[in-house]
Amino acid sequence: MDLLIINGHDYSKFVTVSGYGWARNDLDSGNTTRTKDGTLRRDKIATKRKMTLEVAGMKRRELAQLDDDLSQSTFTATYMDLHGQMTRTFYCASFSAALTTTKRDDEFTWRSEPFTLTEV
């Protein structure tokens, strides 16, 4: 199974095991309130995913492609969810990377800082 595909580009082999996090976020409408005794009256309108990822061992052009994919306003990602493989639409608000000292095929390799994919 694929761990992470964004816009048709497979980044699965670069995702670090310690850098793969999953979260479920519920969204409530403005009608969600608490009564005077503190009881919640909830109007849940959607459930969205949030992925926290980290990649490593990428050549400059590979990481540049990932940056291009993440720079789009929204993008499609196929990923491993707790409920199996899913494809959803996400955005990424921030992305940063660092040069590593390791060389692969006479090229330096790069790693990302942790970044977040938020479902739209």
- Tens-binned pLDDT, residue by residue, of the chain (120 aa): 689 999 999 999 999 988 899 999 999 999 999 999 999 999 999 999 999 999 999 999 999 999 999 999 999 999 999 999 999 999 999 999 999 977 767 889 999 999 999 999
Question: In b/e form, how buried is each residue of 26-53, taking b as 16+ CB within 10 angstroms?
Answer: eeeeeeeeeeeeeeeeeeeeeeebebeb
Length, in residues, of the chain: 120
Q: What is the pTM of this model?
A: 0.89
- Which domains are seen in the chain, by residue range? 4-119 (2.40.30)
Q: How far apart are CA 111 and CA 58, in angstroms?
A: 7
